[in-house]
Amino acid sequence: MSGVPDALKIAISSDHAGNVLRGVIRDWLVEEGYAVTDLGPGPGESVDYPDRARPLAEGVASGRFDRGVLICGTGQGMAMTANRVPGVRAAVVADTFSARMAMAHNDARVLCLGERVVGAGVALDCVEAWLNAEFEGGRHARRVEKIG
């Protein structure tokens, strides 16, 4: 990856069903030079996805984090919870095109993945596509404004 923005702060969290994939993505983000905050949970800790998604989404909404990655079994519960936080748009993805468009067309600052849906290779490709995309604004900004 070329030119990681120095100040780009990324938070990552999961429930117990996303622990393994969270570790893979976190390690890759660190290797690529991103400033990563891992919000847990700890190994073997069984947690409820809303308790993991809300703090990350609130951190993105407040500007503490630039972007966030949430992982559970399917990604759906994380997205549903994160999208309840005003100012947050979270997208569940399982392919690189959707990941790229979530950012480029929808300004989705939170990416949700399902460890039981995608393997590590696809997940990393999705994260990379999403991070390399920029919100295009223009007609998309008008549409995103209508969501809020």
Active site residues: 72, 105
Give 133's Cβ-side CA count (13 Å radius).
26
Q: Cα–Cα distance between 102 and 79 in angstroms, integer? A: 13
Long-range contacts of 133-139 (CB under 8 A, 24+ apart): 133/99, 133/100, 133/101, 133/102, 133/103, 133/104, 134/103, 134/104, 135/103, 135/104, 135/107, 136/104, 136/105
Q: Cα–Cα distance between 3 and 103 in angstroms, integer? A: 18
